Amino acid sequence: MAYQTGTAKTLNELLTKLTEFAQTQNWVIDKATNNELYLHNDDGYWSFVLSAESNFLFGYVNSGFDKSKGADAQPGSSKNNSFTTIETATTQLHSGNYVSYDFFGTKQYLHIVVQVEADKFRHFGIGTLIKRVSMSADNILTAHQYRDDMGITKK
């Protein structure tokens, strides 16, 4: 598994560095623009976008890529093509000026850890499951949100 660590001042810089790292693991970058990233491997498509309203970094599992559509409107988007609307989000990445980041990756999976401040880390990852049995879905997206004791999401 490949590994990279470093620092980034903004979310856009973090996504640019993730783009470069992902390419070394044979991921294809479909589109990388201000606070957005669209990428795929041999088995699936994913997109990320920073929401201006909530300051959450949203991630979506998709079945393809359409350059004319936004992150949440891609073909087969997990937001619009599930039993219920699914929006996987990571919090506290909008502020930037991160202490550090760590990328772990293979051609099948990318895991990102961002230290947003002392003793506070945010994790998110994308990839494809190794199937041991036949199943229809195999693409995954994970993310971490911080909530206080009352269940209120922290931005």
Q: Following CA atoms 66, 42, 40, 138 in sequence, which dihedral angle do they give, to the nearest 10 degrees? A: 100
Domain that holds residue 67: 2-143
Please list, residue by residue across 70-109, b when 16 or more beta carbons sit within 10 angstroms of its beta carbon and e when fewer do. ebbebeebbbeeeeeeeebbbbbbbeeebeebebbbebbb
33 Cβ contact list (under 8 Å, min separation 6):
none
Residue 35 is assigned to a structural domain of this protein: yes
Per-residue pLDDT of the chain (155 residues; tens, 9 = 90+): 999 999 999 999 999 999 999 999 999 999 999 999 999 999 999 999 998 888 889 999 999 999 999 999 999 888 876 666 666 777 778 888 999 999 999 999 999 999 998 888 999 999 987 766 665 556 767 665 554 444 445 54
Residue 105 is assigned to a structural domain of this protein: yes
Residue 122 is assigned to a structural domain of this protein: yes
Residue 149 is assigned to a structural domain of this protein: no
Residue 148 is assigned to a structural domain of this protein: no
Residue 114 is assigned to a structural domain of this protein: yes
